Amino acid sequence: MAKLNILVTGGAGYIGSHTVKLLSEKGFNVVVYDNLSNGHREAVENVKFVEGDILDTERLSSLLSEVKFDACIHFAAFIEVGESVKNPLKFYKNNVAGTLNLLTLLKKYNVKNFVFSSTAAVYGNPEKTPIKEDFELKPVNPYGNTKLAVENALRDMSNAGEISYIALRYFNASGADESGLIGESHNPETHLIPLVLKTAKGERESIKIFGTDYPTKDGTCIRDYIHVNDLANAHILALNYLIEGGKSDVFNCGYGIGYSVREIIDTAKKVTGIDFRVEETERREGDPAVLVADNKKIKKVLNWKPQYNDIEYIIQTAWNWEKNKRF
């Protein structure tokens, strides 16, 4: 059977690069398209790479006319919630207008299968937990709004027969590939686990806990941390499902288990063997107490079987990367 050609936008980013590695290992022919605004060229050394922006119609058209793609996995997006609040236009332009530009060209070149990086941020502050896919969608920041806008466009396009898509709503992607060759590298870094590990490494003076009076077991926020390789595998299952004629759908990507900020810090101290300074401070505006996925649907429909559902393993792989970061 001929190798399937997969276009991966934003493939040089954190989740993208882990998915690209897995796609290559599974025998797909991958082309990464990334403007390197947040991605790293070193993260995707062994596949065809095109530097370009999703708003650059000419460059994207040229690639789509040159390679007959079977599907597109779309990671390219700005992700920092705080920045989205300060600079919403930047986020709408890239995450919404950029994606619509990509979708317009995919339609023109008859690429029908589309896997989209969505987010648990589309749920906003849900009234109960675990969160199911059919809960009300009411994002509380521009980042979540941009992702929901794209989900709405995809649903309408799918209803009109223009596309088949899977939107994967990520919870907290974390950890790194066991090889130690790729991992999480954001600038600035805003995610808890790398921030905690940078504190252990001595790059930061302390780690802050924002709020210790939440209605949770230890008063700190609870989140659903999913290892990046389990997330990468969900993309491959989604891709195969669409290629085999599966219908458009949305799925949560999480383990259905939550860990508190304090538990993450304590586990990091155990894994690293380093005691570091922790500061307790006021709540941050807009932080829900608990965000945990109900993952029954993805397990049932895509037969997703998590392999790395172990918070110690997640933090250990992140620590191995943090100690020997290549980029």
Cis-peptide, bond into residue 88, ω within 30° of zero: no
Contact call for residues 288 and 138 (beta carbons, < 8 A): no
Residues whose CB falls within 8 Å of the CB of residue 134, separated by 6 or more in sequence, listed in order: none
Collapsing DSSP to helix, strand or coil, 253 comes out as: strand
Euclidean distance between CA atoms 327 and 322, whole angstroms: 10
First to last CA, the chain: 36
> How many C-beta atoms surround the C-beta of residue 246 within 10 A?
17
User: Is 165 marked active-site?
Assistant: no
Euclidean distance between CA atoms 6 and 239, whole angstroms: 9
How many CA within 13 A on the CB side of residue 171?
27
190 CA to centre of own chain: 14
Spot the catalytic one: 14, 123, 143, 170.
143
- Residues with catalytic function: 143
